[in-house]
A and B are shown apart, each in its own frame.
Chain A
Amino acid sequence: MGRTLFLALGIFLTIACSVTGLVILPNWQFQGLKPVTKKDGVKYPMPYFGDNHKGRAEYISHGCIYCHSQQVRMKGYGADIRRGWGTRRSVPRDYIYDYPHQLGTMRTGPDLANIGARQPSRDWHSLHLYDPQITSPGSVMPRFYYLFDEVKQGESPRAGAIKVPDGYPNRGSVVAIVPNERGEQLIAYLKWLNQSFPLPEAQQ
């Protein structure tokens, strides 16, 4: 019995140590992180709100994380910055409002930590999400057509509609698209993603 207890206790200790070291300790280290105030008085980072908050839920629900990361590696480690995916490395402060985190571990598609800075156009995002082949022929990203209403030939034009280009082969009778509520929210979130503010700790 004594040996059994020793075995069970030893086994328990091994995991207790790593919970402490890798779960409790880091959390304690980052708990004090606060936003910084920019010169113009605006804070960075800002909590998500309204559409970009709801759009984040869409991002999670459609599993964009399985193809896209949201983290820029430092200069000299990989080519993230040289590819234009960011102007500086990502640091813990960038993520203090992220729950659940969406750092990601796969780059079947490009990193999206700064997609809002790199691609601020609602039209571009709409066409790309509706069918990536319109903007990026050869892409393997799925079409998220269900985030859009289609305006067919002969139907009355709608406010905020985006024209589908003439050269698009699968156009059919669709002349324009309008993001539906979920589509607008997702696009708002993508446009919100921006880590370009130069945080002091991210200078190296």
Chain B
Amino acid sequence: MNVVNSPTEEIRARIEADSSARVVVTLYWASALFWLTFATLAGLISSIKLHSPDFLNYEWLTFGRIRPVHWDTAIYGFGGLAASGTLLWLQARLCQVKLPFRGPLIIGGILYNLGMVLGVIAVLAGYSTGVETLEFPVWAMTFLVLPFVVIVIANFTMYARKKTQHTYVSQWYLMAVTVWFPVLVLSAEACINFGAVDGVAQAIANWWYGHNVVGLFATPTGIAAAYYLIPKVIGKPIHSYHLSLVGFWTNAIFYNWAGTHHLTGGPLPAWTITVGVVGSMMMFIPVITIGINHHMTMLGSFHLLKTSPTLRFAVMGSMMYTVASFQGSLEALRTHQEVTHFTHYTIGHVHLGMYGFFAPLMFAMMYYAMPRLMRQEWSSARLIRIHFWCTLVGTALYGGAMCFAGVKQGLMMNDPAIPFLKVVEFTIPFLQLRTLAGLILLSGTMAFLINFGRMMARHKLTFADPTLFTSERNWDALLEEEQKV
């Protein structure tokens, strides 16, 4: 192993790693943003349908089809591609090696997008498998799994070639993702869509998968990003190595078991649910340790939130990780589930996790890495600001409205004296608020898309200084500067 010693060599290795990753990572992230926009639109349509059922009421767009398309494009399209890009870029950088297998990775990215398109068409046309989160037919899903073979190999190759002596915390999480995800998808497909299990055992397998695809794929990538970005931007080491070790292994051991709480009260033997509840309770350990580690690192550096876009998104993500995880663990309790299970509360929680924690960390990653990949800065600080505030306000409004409405909805449903249609009537204003939240989130995504698109289109322009919230730079000034050149 040849070790990089001098700082100049280290910087050169970093620049080499970045330029080798340019095409692949940009492809993955650009497609991730496409699917994010698509998923947000599909979500918005679903949301409108829940208070105005006649909106776009065609067979292909019926609620029961557009709603799974929303989730699948969010988790596989945005989540899968954003996380894969993050994984490849971060691993190359932390190992200080060039990204290997670039050709296959590009083909993989294209195949993945093709699989997404096929899957979406299949579900809209009514060929869903009917299993939540695994709606895409097996033939479409194959296109999503194959690229992962290359991603996994690339990841291990980089790790084997690494020029640094130590392994950074983020790298444990990235390793974990590449081991977990293939096992997860293959076992789930084998059990569910190839029919190895049926009846209620299939339901358990389904929620083992549904919960873990978030917890063993999105969550570790998000945590890896937070572990990398927070210390990097503020220029301080992570609070405690030992805590990160505890956090990593307890997360790895307990998250796996938490999924069955999605079936609390269902027709399953009590032990399966108990396991899920215990797993969820034990999750307090990693959540608290990871939380301490991230927030203690930030202590004393909060003033930097005023200037750094990356940090703002990263800190929002890591704070929401703590909030959403606490909420998730409590939610697993039987008394809590008695009320909130089967209600909009769960939907609120998912969005606090996905859009409050995971997505901002992926945005932070892109805000940090894209200028390094494209060798140019973001053209507008104002657009970043709009993106940030829309993400924060939209998520808060979404989570707040749905969680509040969910509790009330659950209490009303548990009172048999209240007719069902009264419960429906009660939720409608909150569902309308949710549509508003969706619109806000969509506006934020649009702002990001514009900034991202400009960067892709104008690859000649460079700036010496990074775009901070305090910079005055905007598109007009940029054009002026360009004309001067």
Contact = CB atoms under 8 A, between A and B. Distances in A.
Contacts of A74: 265
Contacts of A10: 249, 252
**Dominant SS at the A interface?**
loop
B199 A99 contact: yes
Contact of B196 (A27, A137, A141, A144): A27
B256 interface: yes
Nearest to B431: A140
Interface string A140-178: 111111100000000000000000000000000000000
B351 to A, nearest CB: 15
Contacts of B176: 11
A23 B275 contact: no
Contacts of A142: 49, 53-54, 57, 62-64
A49 interface: no
Given A23-B204, A139-B421, A142-B49, A67 B63 contact: yes
Contact of A63 (B67, B249, B267, B341): B67
Given A100-B129, A142-B63, A73 B179 contact: no
A69 B179 contact: no
A102 B266 CA distance: 12
A14 B51 contact: no
Contacts of A65: 64, 130, 132
Interface stretch (B72-80, B187-195, B473-481): B187-195
Interface string A106-125: 11111000000000000000
Contacts of A83: 413, 416, 420
B192 to A, nearest CB: 7
Interface residues of B, number: 79
A22 B127 contact: no
A140 B424 contact: yes
Interface stretch (A35-43, A84-92, A183-191): A84-92
Contacts of B201: 23, 26-27, 29-31
B357 interface: no
Given A74-B265, A90-B267, A63 B202 contact: no
B130 A60 contact: yes
B198 interface: yes
Interface string A64-104: 11110101011001110011100001111011111111110
B285 to A, nearest CB: 14
Interface in B103-156: 126-132
Contacts of B265: 71, 73-74, 77-78
B208 A23 contact: yes
A101 B207 CA distance: 12
A11 B175 contact: yes
A138 interface: yes
A175 B413 CA distance: 36
Contacts of B343: 106-107
Contacts of A198: none
B197 A60 contact: no
A180 interface: no
Interface string B247-285: 001001100110110110111110010010000000000
Interface in B21-69: 49-51, 53-54, 57, 59, 62-65, 67-68
Interface of B: 49-51, 53-54, 57, 59, 62-65, 67-68, 126-132, 159-160, 167, 172, 175-176, 179-180, 183-184, 187, 191-192, 195-206, 208, 212, 216, 249, 252-253, 256-257, 259-260, 262-263, 265-269, 272, 275, 334, 338, 341-343, 346, 413-416, 420-421, 424-425, 428
Given A62-B62, A103-B266, 18 more contacts: A4-B160, A8-B175, A11-B176, A21-B257, A26-B269, A29-B201, A33-B199, A63-B67, A79-B413, A82-B416, A83-B420, A101-B198, A103-B203, A105-B262, A106-B346, A138-B425, A139-B424, A142-B57
Which 9 residue pairs across A and B have the least CB separation, nearest first? A63-B64, A60-B130, A18-B256, A107-B342, A61-B126, A90-B267, A27-B201, A73-B265, A82-B416
14 contacts: A7-B172, A10-B252, A14-B253, A15-B180, A23-B208, A27-B197, A66-B64, A77-B334, A90-B267, A91-B267, A98-B198, A138-B424, A140-B53, A146-B59
